Amino acid sequence: MKAKLVLLPGDGIGPEIISETVRVLEVIAGKYGHSFSYTERLMGGCSIDQYGSSLTDETLVDCQAADAVLLGAVGGPKWDDPKAKDRPERGLLALRKGLGVFANLRPVKVHPALIDSSPLKPEKLIGVDILVIRELTGGLYFGWPKGRDVKDGRERAVDTLEYYDYEIRRVMELAFKLAKGRKKKVTSVDKANVLESSRLWRQIAVEIGSQNPDVTLEHVLVDTASMRLITGPAAMDVVVTENMFGDILTDEASVLAGSMGMLPSASLGAGGPGLYEPIHGSAPDIAGKGIANPVGTILSSAMLLRHSLGLETEAASIEKAVDETITAGARTSDLGGKLSTRQMADEIIKRL
C-alpha cells in the first residue's frame, strides 16, 4: 500500500528518535512491499524559532491531509518563559484539537525482562497489561473560560474542567469497544465525589455500560486509582479517564514499565489521520547526545501501522522485534544500558 505520513520531530530528542523510527518503517515498507512518503514539518519550539508560531496553519493543513502523523516531542527550557505568548506545548494541543483526536490510547505493559528496572516489587508487576484511554481534546486542558485577570483587586488565574455529553460518550464507546477485544472490563476513573463534570462522566459511563452488558464497568476515584496503579496494577485492564487525570496517571504508570522511554501512544478521532507519539517529553538534558531510548517512538509507529493503515501483521512484527530485543538484553542508558539510540534501533531492525 501507499501511505502519506507527516513527521513532526519537534524539539530535544525528538529528531533523534524520529529518524531511527523512520529507518524501522522503511525496513517494514521494503519487507512487505509498501511505499511510505514522508513530509517533515516543524512543530513546537523549533517552529516558534522559525515561524514565530508553535503550529502554523500550513503544518496543520499538511497533517490533516496525511494518512497519519508521527510526532517526536516538544518543549525545552529555551521556550519556558511563563510570559511568552506562545509555547511549544500550545502547538501540540492545537494539533490534537485540529486533528480531532479525542482518544489517546496509552498501553502499559511490563516486559518480563524489565521487571527489575521498576522500583516496584517484582510480584506486583507480573501480568501487568493496561490500556489507558485518555480523553484528549476536552476537560481541564481546553475548557472555557481560561486565563488571567484581576478580580476584586487580586490577580486571578482560571482553568475550567468542561465536558459536553457527546465528548464523554464517544471516548467511552471506544473504551467499551476496545475492552471487548481484551478482558471485558472497563475502569472509569473520575472524581465524582467532588466534580460536577465527573458526575456527568459517570452518568455516561453507566449509560454506555448498560448498552454493553458483556463488559464489566467499575468506577474508581482518581486518587484511589493512582494508589491502585501501584498496589495492584495487574488487576487493571482498560482505564478510561479525563484529559488531565490521564496525563498524570500515565506518567505514574510508566514507572511500572521501567522507563518512560518505553511507552507509545496513539491518538485517534472519528476517521481522520491519527497522531502517534511516545508518551515521554523532549528530554533536553540528553538531547543531541544520541542516547535517547527510541522504543516508545518505534512502538508508536507500530500503533500507526495498526490503527491508521490497518497493517496488523506489520505492526505485530515490530512489537515482536522490540520484545525480542529487550529479552536479548539490549538497553539504552535510561534502562542502565550502554547502547546509543542508533544501536538500539539496529538491534530491533536486525530482528525484523
Q: Which of 90/331 has CB closer to ligand IPM?
A: 90
Q: Among ligand IPM, Mg ion, none, what does residue 347 contact (CB within 5–8 Å per kind)? A: none
Using DSSP's 3-state secondary structure scheme, residue 130 falls into: strand
Q: In whole angstroms, how far apart are CA 106 and each of 49, 201, 254?
A: 30, 20, 10
Q: Among Mg ion, ligand IPM, none, what does residue 89 contact (CB within 5–8 Å per kind)? A: ligand IPM
**Other Cβ atoms within 10 Å of 14 Cβ, number:** 30
Residue number of the CB closest to Mg ion reads 247
Distance, CA of 27 to CA of 24 (rounded, Å):
5
276 is catalytic: no
Residue number of the CB closest to ligand IPM reads 89
Distance, CA of 270 to CA of 274 (rounded, Å):
9
Please report how close the Cβ of residue 44 comes to ligand IPM at its closest, in angstroms. 9
Contact 135, 86 (CB under 8 A): no
Nearest to 27 by CA among 352, 263, 294: 352
Question: Residue numbers of the site for ligand IPM (CB under 6 A)?
Answer: 75, 89, 92, 247, 279
Contact 174, 210 (CB under 8 A): no
Q: Which of 70/348 has CB closer to ligand IPM?
A: 70
DSSP 16-65: HHHHHHHHHHHHHHHHHT-EEEEEE---SHHHHHHHSSSS-HHHHHHHHT
**Other Cβ atoms within 10 Å of 208 Cβ, number:** 23
Please report how close the Cβ of residue 163 comes to Mg ion at its closest, in angstroms. 19
Q: Among Mg ion, ligand IPM, none, what does residue 92 contact (CB within 5–8 Å per kind)? A: ligand IPM
Question: Residue numbers of the site for Mg ion (CB under 5 A)?
Answer: 247
**Candidate list 163, 191, 276, 334, residue with the active-site label:** 191
Please report how close the Cβ of residue 244 comes to Mg ion at its closest, in angstroms. 9
**Candidate list 109, 141, 190, 334, residue with the active-site label:** 141
**Candidate list 31, 223, 285, 350, residue with the active-site label:** 223
Please report how close the Cβ of residue 101 comes to ligand IPM at its closest, in angstroms. 12
Count CA within 13 A, CB hemisphere, residue 114: 29
List, in sequence order, every residue forming a beta bridge with 24; answer none if it has no partner: none
Q: Among Mg ion, ligand IPM, none, what does residue 86 contact (CB within 5–8 Å per kind)? A: none
Q: Which of 67/247 has CB closer to ligand IPM?
A: 247
Q: Among Mg ion, ligand IPM, none, what does residue 240 contact (CB within 5–8 Å per kind)? A: none
141 is catalytic: yes
Q: Which of 88/209 has CB closer to ligand IPM?
A: 88
Distance, CA of 204 to CA of 228 (rounded, Å):
23
Please report how close the Cβ of residue 108 comes to ligand IPM at its closest, in angstroms. 13
Q: Among ligand IPM, Mg ion, none, what does residue 45 contact (CB within 5–8 Å per kind)? A: none
The residue assigned the cell 538500539 is 344
Q: Which of 36/102 has CB closer to Mg ion?
A: 102
Please report how close the Cβ of residue 13 comes to ligand IPM at its closest, in angstroms. 13
Using DSSP's 3-state secondary structure scheme, residue 324 falls into: helix
190 is catalytic: no
Which grid coordinates belong to 93? 494541543
Contacts by 20-23 with C-beta closer than 8 Å and gap 24+? 20/294, 20/297, 20/298, 20/341, 20/342, 20/344, 20/345, 21/70, 21/294, 21/297, 21/298, 21/300, 21/301, 21/345, 23/345, 23/349
165 is catalytic: no
Q: Which of 167/247 has CB closer to ligand IPM?
A: 247
Q: Which of 247/347 has CB closer to ligand IPM?
A: 247
Please report how close the Cβ of residue 137 comes to ligand IPM at its closest, in angstroms. 11
**What is the rounded (10 degree) CA torsion for 6, 272, 103, 142?**
80
**Other Cβ atoms within 10 Å of 75 Cβ, number:** 23
191 is catalytic: yes
Q: Tell me which residues are annotated as active site.
A: 141, 191, 223, 247, 251
